[in-house]
């Protein structure tokens, strides 16, 4: 690594960052220059590794303007050995006051795709060498107009009456099935979407859907048609058997308002939820591995709310 140069960008070097070809072009991502223009990316939070004047590693930490938390590593690409990437991250961590969370964007079903594995092995290994520890995986899924399954007939549905009814049901649901944009809610507003969804999903209570069995509420869904794109922001159940019917009802409500695509985020380990989403017509768009600082830095990173939509 004798000819290696590791440094932050300076203002006006957007083209240098972009001179490295995108190793995973199918992933939807904001352009670096657009991110700088919007204020989320900043040169001092963007680092490159140069070998012979060519970018062989790049890392950009993101923090939207007005966000409540710490920046998170949003872009990290590497076409050199993992040790180079680890050196890049360590240098940036020292300058940024310590490591922060890393959200590694990956194509759907990435573990089954040799061509993707060949690209991502080095940066993931570098993140681990730099002291980041994998904490979980989130999947983003999308429904794009496929016919919805027929309802079982076991449940009735109605709009939520008011915020009090929503909060009461949220308090009964230990682990919601779907939380879309959980990380950005925490980063921008310090909101725990699982415990206080109305602090983030601020539309009318009547847009929320209640599943009923024999007149009793057994499920709650928060579709959001007026967000940056239609999404299922929250879905939680008291009766797990209502999952499929409530999913279909929520998507139908958004489609009735004109939605052509609906997105939903789910933890990868929730196998039954992923299967029900797929049965409803959702397909995986991408995956996101969540890394956090190890050891003593982990508690600080947990207190720093950060993450991407």
Residue 59 is part of a domain; what is its CATH number? 3.40.630.30
Residues 132, 186 within the same domain: no
Q: How far apart, in Å, do the first and last CA atoms of the chain sit?
A: 36
Counting the structural domains of the chain, the total is 2
Q: Are 212 and 156 in contact (CB under 8 A)?
A: yes
Half-sphere exposure (Cβ direction) of 97: Cα atoms closer than 13 Å: 9
Beta pairing class for 132-143 and 156-159: unpaired
Are both 193 and 296 inside the same structural domain? Answer: no
What pLDDT is stored for residue 183 in this prediction?
83
Q: How far apart are CA 159 and CA 9, in angstroms?
A: 50
**309 within domain boundaries:** no
Q: Do 186 and 89 belong together in one domain?
A: no
Q: Which long-range contacts (CB under 8 A, 24 or more apart) does 57-63 make?
A: 57/84, 57/85, 57/88, 57/126, 58/17, 58/20, 59/88, 59/89, 59/92, 60/17, 60/32, 60/35, 61/92, 61/96, 61/100, 62/35, 62/308, 63/187, 63/306
Residue 195 lies in a domain: yes
Give the number of other CB atoms < 10 A from CB of residue 63.
Answer: 21
- Sort strands 216-224 and 231-237 into parallel, antiparallel or unpaired: antiparallel
Residue for token pair 């299967």: 275
pTM score of the predicted model: 0.90
pLDDT at residue 296, rounded to an integer: 45
Whole domain around residue 61: which residue ranges?
Answer: 4-138+287-303
Residue 111 in domain: yes
Is 82 a domain residue? yes
Provide block-wise average pLDDT over 10 residues at a time, the chain (309 residues): 89 96 87 94 98 97 89 96 98 96 95 96 98 96 97 97 98 97 84 96 95 98 85 97 98 95 97 98 96 64 40
Q: Is residue 196 part of a domain?
A: yes
What is the predicted pLDDT for the residue at 190? 87
Residue linked to tokens 């050995």:
81
Q: Are residues 267 and 296 in the same domain?
A: no
Same domain, 72 and 179: no
pLDDT of residue 66: 87
Co-location of 163 and 84 in the same domain:
no
In this structure, the answer to whether residues 257 and 151 fall within a common structural domain is yes
Q: Which residue, among 265, 309, 307, has the nearest Cα to 68 in the 3D structure? A: 307
CB atoms within 10 A of CB 192: 15
153 and 99 in a common domain: no
Q: Which residue has the tokens 């040790």?
A: 83
Question: Do 71 and 25 share a structural domain?
Answer: yes
């Amino acid at each position: 690594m004798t000819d290696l140069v590791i440094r932050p960008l300076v203002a006006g070097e957007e083209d240098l960052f972009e001179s490295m070809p995108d190793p995973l072009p199918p992933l939807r991502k904001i352009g670096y220059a657009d991110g700088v223009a919007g204020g989320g990316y900043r040169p001092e939070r963007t680092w490159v590794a140069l070998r012979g004047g060519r970018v062989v590693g790049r890392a950009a930490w993101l923090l939207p303007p007005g966000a409540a938390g710490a920046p998170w590593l949003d872009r990290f690409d590497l076409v050199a050995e993992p040790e180079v990437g680890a050196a890049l991250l360590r240098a940036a961590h020292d300058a940024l006051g310590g490591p922060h969370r890393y959200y590694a964007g990956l194509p759907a079903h990435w573990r089954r795709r040799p061509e993707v594995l060949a690209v991502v092995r080095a940066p993931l290994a570098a993140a681990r060498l730099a002291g980041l520890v994998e904490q979980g995986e989130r999947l983003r899924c999308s429904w794009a107009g496929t016919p919805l399954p027929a309802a079982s007939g076991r449940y009735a549905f109605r709009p939520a009456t008011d915020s009090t009814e929503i909060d009461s049901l949220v308090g009964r649901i230990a682990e919601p099935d779907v939380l879309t944009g959980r990380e950005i809610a925490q980063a921008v507003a310090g909101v725990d979407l699982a415990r206080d969804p109305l602090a983030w999903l601020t539309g009318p209570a009547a847009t929320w859907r209640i599943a009923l069995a024999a007149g009793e509420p057994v499920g709650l869904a928060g579709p959001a048609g007026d967000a940056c794109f239609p999404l299922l922001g929250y879905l939680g159940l008291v009766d797990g058997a209502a999952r499929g019917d409530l999913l279909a009802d929520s998507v139908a409500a958004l489609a009735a308002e004109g939605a052509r695509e609906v997105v939903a985020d789910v933890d990868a380990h929730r196998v039954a939820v992923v299967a029900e989403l797929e049965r409803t017509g959702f397909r995986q768009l991408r995956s996101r591995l969540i890394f956090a600082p190890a050891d003593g830095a982990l508690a600080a990173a947990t207190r720093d709310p950060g993450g991407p939509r």
